[in-house]
Each structure stands twice: as structure tokens, then as C-alpha cells.
Amino acid sequence: MLRNRLFNIVLAAALATAAALTVREAVAAPIIPSPSQATIQCDSLPARSSIRTENNKGTGMGMPRSEDGPTGIDDGLKELLNAYRTCAR
């Protein structure tokens, strides 16, 4: 009887955890805008000529930067170049 009750408690805890994670993801999904919904402010983009590579003294690697700061973090350079393409249309 004790094993059966322990199994039921573990099963209930696993189901509650799965339900909590599902609800959390369902709530978080609408917060993230899709690329088609994101509006690009073409006037706020840094000039293309300001994109350059600077060496990081700590790692010895080159880091793409613009007049607004680093652009290579989390695919920032790729997003920036895509924004230029969108604004050129």
C-alpha cells in the first residue's frame, strides 16, 4: 500500500511540474515579437561606415563594433545587416 501511495505522489508531482512548465511557455510565447511584427527604425541605425572590427585584448579575437557599441553579441551583426537590407527597400 505504501509503494502504491508513493508512486501516486511521485506521478502527481511529475504531472504538476509538466503542467507548470507548459503554462510558463504558453505565457512567454506571445511576449516575444515575431520578425514580421518588429518595426525597424531606419533612422536609428548606425552608419554602415561605422562598422569595424576591433581586437579584444582579453581574448585576442576580433569583435565587430559600430558607433553604438558591440554588434557581434547574440547575432547582432547579422540582425544589423538584415535591417539595412529591409531599410533599403
Q: Is the pLDDT of residue 29 over 80?
A: no
Q: Where are the domains of the chain?
A: 1-32, 35-89
Set of cell numbers at residue 8: 501516486
**pLDDT per position as a tens digit, 49-87:** 788 888 878 888 877 888 777 776 666 777 777 777 777
Facing residues of 55 across strands? 62
Set of cell numbers at residue 69: 557599441
Task: Write down the pTM of the prediction.
Answer: 0.40
Q: What are phi and psi of 69, to 5 degrees?
A: 130, -165
